[in-house]
Amino acid sequence: MHHLKLSALFLLQFLCFFSTLISISCTESEVQALLAWKSSLKDPGCLTQKWSYNISNDPCRWEGIQCSEAGSITNLCIRACMTDGTLDKFNFSSFPNLTRLDIAYQNFHGEIPKEIGTLSNLLVLSLIFNNLSGEIPATISNLSKLTHLDLSGNQLTGSIPKGIVNLSNLYYLMLGQNNLTGEIPTSLENLSNLELLEFSYNYLTGIIPRSIEYLTRLTFLGLSTNELNGRIPLEIGNITALQQVVFSYNNFIGVVPPFLTNDLLISRGPLTMSDYQCSAESYR
């Protein structure tokens, strides 16, 4: 019996040691991926001082970085850091536990890599007010857990990926202030959790799809300054949660539906997640 207890104790110590090695290895891999990306930037900005790796400087305490209890990076939030570069060298596959990627008010340019679709645990993706160009990668539709998607204030072109309507966990969908063309995806019924929809300041054409009536939790609808046409669907009046809409500067025809009262029909700038801070509590 004594030998069995010793064997069990040895096994427990071995497993704890082995799991620690795995955690360290995983964290080390993520840190090296971050540093490699930083070194690829034309100008790392404030990251030059804030992301410096040494024994006494725990990467989980770096500004904009949050980790799980196991030491794996879960949140990456860089805002107004005067950073200039691209996402080309960002090794998305090195961050399997990332739940938030928030890179805002920077000078990132180039395209959004299709590899972003490998972040299977991502909940929040915010790349607002950069100079990103090219099309929104179709692989974004692979991010099935996503609750917040904000790509506002870039130079993105092409159409809205059709697969985006399959992101059924979305609360916020904001693509305003880009150069998007084409029509609004027609099958919106899967986005039943959506509360904020902002497509203003693009070049979208076609009609507002009637399936918008299925967005019963929608409180804000922004479609201003596009090239939308046709009649404003009466079905929007069925969205009882709706508090604000922005439809100005389009090519709509017909009379304004009676449900669009002065309190509901507003004219204001596009909405973004810009007021949110770099803290997990800012999001659901």
Q: Give residue-wise pLDDT tens across range 3-20.
A: 433 343 333 333 333 333
pLDDT band for 54, please (50, 70, 90 cuts): low
pLDDT band for 279, please (50, 70, 90 cuts): low
Residue 61 burial by CB count (10 A; 0-12/13-18/19+): exposed, middle or buried? exposed
Q: Where are the domains of the chain?
A: 2-282
Residue 209 has what DSSP assignment? P
Cα separation, 247 vs 251, in Å, equals 10
Residues 6+ apart with CB under 8 A from 59: 27, 30, 31, 34, 51, 53, 65, 67, 73
What pLDDT digit, counting tens, does each position of 106-119 carry?
Answer: 999 999 999 999 99
What pLDDT digit, counting tens, does each position of 137-176 carry?
Answer: 999 999 999 999 999 999 999 999 999 999 999 999 999 9
Q: Is it the case that residue 266 has pLDDT exceeding 60?
A: no
Averaged pLDDT score across all residues of the chain? 85
Q: Going edge to edge, which strands form the sheet with 131-135?
A: 84-85, 107-111, 131-135, 155-157
Between 2 and 241, the more confident residue is: 241
What pLDDT digit, counting tens, does each position of 58-108 carry?
Answer: 888 888 999 999 999 999 999 888 889 999 999 999 999 999 999 999 999
Q: In CATH terms, is domain 2-282 a member of 3.80.10.10? A: yes
pLDDT band for 55, please (50, 70, 90 cuts): low
Q: Is it the case that residue 130 has pLDDT exceeding 70?
A: yes
